[in-house]
Structure 1
Amino acid sequence: MVEFLVLGSLEPRESGELIRVRGMRQQRLLALLLVNANRVVPMGVLVDELWENPPSSARQQVHNAVRDLRRILPAAGDSVLITVDVGYRLAVPEDAIDTYRFTSGVRAAKAAEKNGRLAEAIQLLQSAVDLWRGDAFAGIQCPAVTGAAVRLNEQRLTAIEDLMAWRLKAGESSSLVGELQELIAEYPLRDSLRGSLMLALYRSGRQADALAVYDEARRHLADELGLEPGPHLRSLHMAILADAPVVQENAPKPSPEPGDGPVPATGASVVSAASSPGNHRNYLPHCPTDFTGRVTETRFLLSLAERGQGGAPQMVAIDGMGGVGKTTLALHTAHSLAPHYPDGQYFISLHGFSATRSPLSPEQALGTLLQASGVGPDAIPGSLEERSALWRSQLAGQRCLVILDDAADTAQVGPLLPGTGSSMVLVTSRRKLTALDGALSLFLDVFPQEDAMALFSRIVGEQRLGLDRAQVAKAVELCGHLPLAIRIAATRLRDRPACTVADLVERLSSTSQRVRCFQTAERDLMSMLRASYRDLHPALRRFSQLISLHPSSSFDIDHAAAVTGLPADDVDCYVDVLIENNLIRQEAPARYSFHNLVRDCTRELAVEAA
């Protein structure tokens, strides 16, 4: 059997014997295929990853490298390098890659620890950690592989931190001191390791040495980053200084015999217990009490939190056109999920498509989030990389819920994501964030008829509407079933007691009056929709304006090419971008249309540009 070892240098082996892969390009190609094991890697991705400036012969060179790999890898093995229409796929059994054995071992260890089988959990986790021979994919330099290596190395460190905490929990102390000192020398910024060393020293009767570890951490952080130790270390320091029961009660005890009862919680639990008071932070804005519909989407998000992902952060990218209710859904769900994420709930608007503000830079967003997490303004570093690292450190080992609202693109979101831990991140955007690796996608469409009418009725009041359901149906249809448009129109009617639903329908039936109806002192729907076009290329804006002026309610590629005078290939590309930005919808495999209100907005822009 062929196995692939990547938790260190890249080493394919057959029956324990090393298979030599000569040439850096072949090694990088094999690494890329292993990162995407059992998934197709398109030729374009391979070219972009293997060359910064691809030569004209790049595709042929990839073919040659694949041919050479096939000569090297045993043909009779379980691993097969398959050619498909768009690229290549390395079909390989999961347990043939040491990353799978590592992650499955970590999962099994956590399950054993959760069920009270601590000795078994320690043995399983130690075996998983022992698979490592150095940094993952050591020496392989290309963006996708480097990103995968960073994630794997972080998972390794988290596993080591858990292992140290569990061994403390099992009653070890002095035997851990040397190992922890070596680890801290290599990873001086890991608070969890320092906390475990402080506990190991204290429980070995070395209180002064335990306090000295804290002082050394404070000096190091001050000198290197201008920071103070985090709340966990500060609380542990105070507990050790005062000989508090919270650190004494978990001193080593004889191992209980079977049937003696449960083993008391120790280790990492001590730090949590010592530092948890006052740590809870909830920054979620108010969610409308008349929230309506979205039953399927809400259940989906709630089920994710219930299932969890074995300690890995969960990310959901919620996309849809402006005004469709992405933020409302995220907030409604977040309030329901708050008990699942007791270490904090954070919310920040990134103003990616704000009609009145420029998008926040990642540095600005991180500054706000770090202060919300308890970092003082003077302790926030200046560079994006340092802020991002500190934010990840704040979330590591925590169960937090983070809403990144109104994101402009993946580049704005990437530095704000946690690296490890059991947090959940909900990202809302008008764009489809397809490049947000590891995120689940949730598209939000306009309301179905019943939900649209239900929201309208809740705002206006059932008694006011009486039995005039036919007129309500016309009103929400003229609002395009768009939640924000329904909310604005219904609020106007509610605040005008002398008006009827029929009066509102008459006003909404006129394009010019409809535009004015959706503009209030606090909200301007058309200005909000205009912001979706702000960052589009002028040629794309011109294309959408020309299509919107055509009387047909829908179009295909050939139709759009005829209307605009553009080649069909260009039209196909433009349509893809407009779909990605949720500015047009795909009704059928080859049929597209505008939402009525987006068409109104686009026609306004066309008139202004004329």
Structure 2
Amino acid sequence: MRYLLLGTTEALGPDGTPLPLGGARLRALLAALALRGGRAVPVGELVDDVYGDEPPLDAPAALQALVARLRRILGREAVEATPGPGYRLAAAPEDVDLYVFERRAAEAGARLDAGDPETAAALLRDALGLFRGPALADLPGPAGVRPEAQRLAALRRRVEADLRRGAVDGLVPELTALTAAHPYDEGFHAQLIRALRAEGRPADALAAYETARRTLADTLGTDPGPELTALHRDLLNPTTPPPPPALAAPAAHPRETPD
């Protein structure tokens, strides 16, 4: 069995076929159990995760009925009763896409730190591809905040890997969209400036810095941090010329003519 939390909660059977989970409460229960990666969860915590601020009058009994429905779908052995009382999903972390993502992202980070951006970029693309939508979308409250922060961190690292391996094609439009969606993220602004510089566009890189500086000053009342400041200084006083933009290959070799 596999359990998917990076989007709408899903359960996949041994052959990869999605199982019919039904309503939102059932998906929330499965998400709450799978999020613990096979650890026991007390009834009180599950009630909070499933019902939020509006629990039913007899919440433990309602939860027990919900567990019975989930067992009919997954199999009775899939959800175990534990002392406390509580329940446990019979699943290992590698059966849950959230933990698969975390493991692959950590491995990619180690590869990047070791100077292997090619492998890091491939691993990070694979890890980010596990997201089908907002993480833990079926749980109330801020449950998805941490996975979303992890997703953005992995995205920054993937862009960093692409920059280090010189794969800048398509980075400028992607980073332009990311800086618009996350205007206070200095990391994305710095990567956009670096991508523009790598394309041989120093004037556009300076304009991107100015946009970032103005956004931080007008909205947060702060100055750019050390990374943006250093990039700006390098753009104003380049020590080495930026790489020229890639040239298109000629359509055909010119015909040789006698002198």
TM-score category, normalised to shorter length = 0.7 to 0.9
| Residue deviations 1:223-279 (CA, integer Å, cap 9, x gap) | 33233322211221121122234xx57x48xxxxxxxxxxxxxxxxxxxxxxxxxxx
Q: Could you say which residue in structure 1 is the equivalent of 2:4?
A: 5
Q: Deviations over 1:293-320 (max 9, x none)?
A: xxxxxxxxxxxxxxxxxxxxxxxxxxxx
Distance 2:147 2:81 in 1: 28
Q: 1:47 offset after TM fit, Å?
A: 2.4
For structure 2, the 5+ residue unaligned runs are 245-259
**1:432-484 residue CA offsets vs partner (Å, 9 max, x unmatched):** xxxxxxxxxxxxxxxxxxxxxxxxxxxxxxxxxxxxxxxxxxxxxxxxxxxxx
Equivalent residues in 2 for 1:298-377 (5 A)?
A: none
Q: 1:189 is paired with a residue of what secondary structure?
A: coil
Give 2:82's match in structure 1, choosing from 45, 67, 84.
84
After superposition, what is the alpha-carbon deviation per residue over 1:92-117, rounded to whole angstroms, capped at 9, x for unaligned? 03221111221111122123233333
CA distance in 1, matches of 2:206, 2:170: 19
3-state DSSP of counterpart to 1:88: strand
Instruction: State how far apart, in whole Å, the 1-side matches of 2:28 and 2:169 are.
Output: 43
- Give the alignment of 1:544-555 within 5 angstroms: none
Q: Distance in 2 between matches of 1:53 and 1:126?
A: 39
With normalisation by structure 1, the TM-score equals: 0.38
TM score, norm. by length of structure 2: 0.85
SS of the counterpart of 2:64?
A: helix
Taking only the aligned residue pairs, the percentage that are identical comes to 37
C-alpha separation in 2, matches of 1:242 and 1:229: 18
What secondary structure, in the 3-state scheme, does the structure 2 residue paired with 1:17 have? coil
Q: CA deviation at 1:10?
A: 1.4
Q: How does 1:175-186 map to 2 (within 5 A)?
A: 175-186=170-181
The RMSD of aligned alpha carbons is 2.3
Do the aligned residues in 2 keep the contact of 1:174 with 1:200 (CA within 8 Å)? no
Secondary structure of the residue aligned to 2:32 is helix
Contact 1:174 1:201 in 2 (8 A): no
CA shift for structure 1 position 185: 2.2
**What amino acid sits opposite 1:142 in the alignment?**
P
- CA distance in 2 between partners of 1:89 and 1:171 (Å): 47
Distance in 1 between residues matched to 2:55 and 2:202, nearest whole Å: 60
**CA distance change for structure 1 residues 202 and 115 in 2, over 3 Å: closer, same or farther?**
closer
Asked if 1:226 corresponds to 2:230, the answer is no
C-alpha separation between the residues in 2 aligned to 1:184 and 1:116?
26
SS in 2 for 1:65: helix
Is the Cα contact below 8 Å between 2:37 and 2:96 reproduced in 1?
A: no
TM-superposed CA distance for 1:74, in Å, is 4.3
Q: What secondary structure does 2:170 align onto?
A: helix
CA-to-aligned-CA distance 1:124-174 (integer Å, 9 cap, x gap): 122111111222112x2434xx33x21111111111111111111111234
Aligned to 2:57, the other structure's residue is in SS state: coil
Q: Which amino acid is 1:136 matched to?
A: A
**For the structure 1 residues 48 and 118, does the alpha-carbon distance in structure 2 shift closer, same or farther, using more than 3 Å as the test?**
closer
Residues of 2 paired with 1:18 and 1:184: CA distance? 36
Per the alignment, residue 190 of structure 1 pairs with 185
Q: In 2, distance between residues paired with 1:101 and 1:141? A: 20
Match of 2:257 in 1: none
1:213 to 208, 212, 225: 208
- CA offsets per residue over residues 35-80 of structure 1, 9 Å max, x none? 11211111122223324254431111000000011112245xxx71
Please name the residue that 1:108 is paired with: 107
Which portions of structure 1, spanning 4 or more consecutive aligned residues, are displaced by more than 6 angstroms? none
1:153 and 2:148 matched: yes
Name 1:236's counterpart in structure 2.
231
CA–CA separation in structure 2 for the residues paired with 1:53 and 1:18 = 29
**Alpha-carbon displacement from aligned partner over 1:351-403 (angstroms, at most 9, x marks no partner):** xxxxxxxxxxxxxxxxxxxxxxxxxxxxxxxxxxxxxxxxxxxxxxxxxxxxx
Distance 1:200 1:133 in 2: 27
Counterpart-to-counterpart distance in 2, 1:6 and 1:48:
18
CA distance in 2, matches of 1:3, 1:102: 13
The residue type paired with residue 91 of structure 1 is A
2:44 maps to 1:44:
yes
> Separation in 2 of the partners of 1:219 and 1:212?
11
Q: In structure 1, what is the Cα distance between the partners aligned to 2:114 and 2:210?
A: 37
- Distance in 2 separating the partners of 1:19 and 1:133: 17
Cα 1:45/1:175, change in 2 over 3 Å: closer
What does residue 65 of structure 1 align with? 66
Structure-to-structure mapping, 1:103-502, within 5 angstroms = 103-138=102-137, 140-143=138-141, 146-147=142-143, 149-245=144-240, 248=241, 251=243
Measure, in 2, the Cα distance between the counterparts of 1:174 and 1:24.
41
Q: d(CA) in 1 for partners of 2:199 and 2:115?
A: 25
Give the corresponding residue for 1:32: 32
Conserved 8 A contact 1:172-1:200: no
What residue is the counterpart of 1:21 in the other structure? 21
Distance 1:19 1:223, change over 3 A: farther
Greater relative contact order (Cα < 8 A, sep 6+): 2
Deviation of 1:204 after TM superposition, in Å, equals 0.9
Q: For the residues of structure 2 that align with 1:96 and 1:188, how far apart are their CA atoms? A: 35
For 2:216 and 2:233, locate their aligned partners in 1 and report how far apart those are by CA, in whole Å. Answer: 18
Contact 1:83–1:89, Cα closer than 8 Å, also in 2:
yes
